A and B are shown apart, each in its own frame.
Chain A
Amino acid sequence: MVGCALFRRFCLGGLKTVLLERGADILSGASKGNSAMLHTGFDAPPGSLEHACIQAGHAEYLAVRESLGLPLLETGGLMVAWSEEELARLPAVVAQAHRNGVLDVVQVGAEEVRRREPNLAPNALGGVSVPLEHIIDPWSAPLAYALQAMAHGGEVRRGCEVNGGDFADGQWRLATSQGPLAARIVVNAAGLQGDLVEAIARASPFAIRPRKGQFVVFDKPAARLITASIMPVPSERTKGVMVARTIFGNLLVGPTAEDQDDRAHATLDQGQLEALIARGQRMLPALAGESVNAAYAGLRPATDSKDYIVEAVAEANWITAAGIRSTGLTGALGIARHAAALYERHFGRLEEAPSPARISMPNLAEHLPRPCLAAGYGEMVCHCELVTRTEIEQALGGPLPARDVGGLKRRTRAMMGRCQGFYCSARIAALAKGRLVGLSTESLP
């Protein structure tokens, strides 16, 4: 996410930029599992870099989304207090939002909460309305950033792991799994591997401590139960469990917040998932009658620092963007702007491209017309998510084709619906033949 935004920013700034990704496809680390919110930053620590990046990112997303073909589901957010103790904290939440410049945030009474969200459990005591806390497509956005960067000369190398590097005479020589690579400036946006990559340039001042977030995705009919994203009153440790719609038309409950050492496995835990569902049902009793489509887990690259770490190591021609946690989807564009400013302060000028290339992402949002509504789509491949053969083929082609099953799912929604590939996975394997890592397309003898 952050890497794609940085890639875009530096390509638009006229630098010859290459994006290295160790996974088979982009977005295969921390970025694949997030809550898809476009945050306002109302609850960010005042004066923090995170706050500045979220606000800049929110503004830039709204400014550029149409030229990138990216959707927006304007839901707003509603923080709901379920106890007297939580209710007592609401005025401080509003005060902090105002201090953060999010001036349309207001406290609302129990009556107003019920009027806005009649399906919530009756014990909601009050809430805070955050009108501009919206929902976006968490994967089309960074993909569009990368595609725009490529249109401005950027290069993407996937399956390319950085193993080490030497800095001498103002030049980096990186050792990668695809051979050496020379660069003037290195930007570390390695997410879950951030501290390991940082150690190439210096003793890492931060340690990544993965924090796992599990989510439960309900089938589309459940999305009718709420209008706004229902947020909990946050505690010290985490923003807590929320209930939100997704841009794809589902309803999401999550995340959990579980610290772990493992950087690779984001495993599901049945007990935790059942607890999430129970938690969701306590907030939204009608969820009890709705079916679950999927469950997923993501790892957030947390550090000891409460804030993002975005800084330049001037003497090493190095820029770090690390510790970007759950707000990274919104913050990414702001982080990229901040990193570009650091570049200009330490390393040279950027010449902003006068007319950035327009990108048109295929629409995956449920509230906008899907490609299957136009005749000539070839074949309906995934019936649950209405994904056509044309879309599958587009995702398997173009400048940044899907390289694994996850990448295809993120680009098209195929196999992400209620049947989870019962109907279409064999057909997709046949269409993808040989083009997706990990998917066996071995012919029968």
Chain B
Amino acid sequence: MSHHDVVILGAGPAGLAAATRLAALGIKDLVVLDRESEPGGVPRHCGHVAFGLREFHRPMSGPAYARRLAEAAAGIDIRTRMTVTAIEPGGRVHVVHPDSGPATLSGRAVLLAFGVRETPRSTQLVSGDRPVGVTTTGALQQFVYLSRIRPFRRAVVVGSELVAFSALLTLRHGGIEAAAMIEEGPRITARRPADWVARLALGVPVLTGTKLLAIRGLDRVEAVEIERDGRRQAIACDGVVFTGRFRPETAILAGSHLEIDRGSGGPAIDQHWRCSDPAFFAAGNLLHPVETAGVAWAEGRAAADAIAAFLAGTLPPAASTLAVKATAPLKYIYPQRLSLPAAAISPLLFKLRTARAAKGNLRLVADGRLLWRRRMTILPERRLSLPLSRIPRADVSSLSVEFEEI
């Protein structure tokens, strides 16, 4: 077993940002592991120009952005084609590699930065046949940008989060007709004017208030059945792209000793990015389905600062914690707990998401006392934040964030 100061799992924006920051802070015994053959993470197969503004102050394509992140991390020990098979208490990580086989590493600190994946059709229990040609945006991007294969000719895109519009761009790049984008809700999930871009620039019908009823086709997809304005109808297509509904890639964590937050689906952390086992830290989309690469990058940097403090012995211990609860319709909040005393946390924010649209007051309540509130409209898949500096004392015993609908 090899021992290191820091082991980073995942060489996407969060992991690479953390590695680069740690190296700049003088941490030398640092290893980054990634399962793919090149570092960079998901942006590697996002061909459109939507990256880099926060980090490099100019718009970049995903692959260019991924290369830039990797260049910034030049000189750091990044080991690709590494598959993590298990993690164990105290910072132990089991891996396999195609050439060298199984191995075990340990880090005084381990940063988890596995990222997210989309929810496939099957998890959503969609009715109908199970033919070939049903995929997700991520898989579609890999087909088109990495394997350069056209998996189908005419596709229906399900969902209207931002990533669904990225699916439309990928379809166009692959010369695949987009038959329609369908969204069950009354409006698109992404911000306007994404739908106008889809309609006008790409010529794709955006059908809101439309429910996917079933997929038809014995071997290959032949059609989807939808319900629109109370009527059942079919759209002929040979591909279906399920988009969004991201979930943290917690495969390795689910069977481990770490506490998973049921709301976010990712590991529960304190304000220092620290998991329930203090040898493990987490950052990026693993914590929150889903944010931009820029947010993941910024979190990777912040987590690196916490890890550097931990290695220097200056990070407050995780001995006494205060759990932070979010109640419906709020879906999740993070950090999920505060390590006390909470004095050192003022520059940070709680971040949260709602499960559905609502109007009313967002309230922060400590021991039954209202500490802070703000009137607002909340929408799913939009950032919501709440300043931690509003917590006046460290002696509260319960803290919850609520949404009072009006």
Contact = CB atoms under 8 A, between A and B. Distances in A.
Real complex partners, A and B? Answer: yes
Interface of A: 216, 219-221, 224, 264-270, 273-274, 289, 291-297, 372-380, 383-384, 386, 388-389, 404-405, 417-423, 425-427, 429-430, 437-445
Contacts of A295: 122, 125
B117 A289 contact: no
B127 A267 contact: yes
Interface residues of B, number: 53
Given A429-B143, A441-B149, A273 B125 contact: yes
B254 A270 contact: no
A422 B131 CA distance: 16
A251 B233 CA distance: 35
B128 A292 contact: no
Given A438-B132, A438-B220, A426 B152 contact: no
A430 B147 contact: yes
A292 B120 CA distance: 10
Contacts of B143: 425-426, 429
Contacts of A379: 37, 81, 98
B35 interface: yes
A375 B254 contact: no
A428 B127 CA distance: 26
8 contacts: A292-B123, A383-B83, A421-B120, A422-B120, A425-B143, A426-B149, A427-B142, A444-B150
A267 B135 contact: no
A420 B122 contact: yes
Contacts, number: 144
B385 interface: no
Contacts of B122: 292-295, 420
B235 interface: no
Contact of B96 (A293, A380, A438): A380
Contact of A440 (B35, B120, B150): B150
A426 B131 CA distance: 16
A429 B96 contact: no
B376 interface: no
B89 interface: no
A440 B139 CA distance: 14
A420 B150 contact: no
Contact of A268 (B85, B120, B130, B255): B130
B125 A445 contact: no
A168 B367 CA distance: 91
A408 B219 CA distance: 14
B101 interface: yes
B316 interface: no
B100 A375 contact: yes
Name the residue in A221, A266, A422, A437 with the highest tally of chain B Cβ atoms < 10 Å from its Cβ: A422
Contacts of A220: 254-255
B43 interface: no
Given A372-B96, A380-B96, 14 more contacts: A267-B214, A268-B125, A268-B127, A296-B130, A374-B101, A377-B98, A379-B37, A404-B132, A426-B143, A426-B147, A427-B147, A430-B149, A440-B152, A443-B150
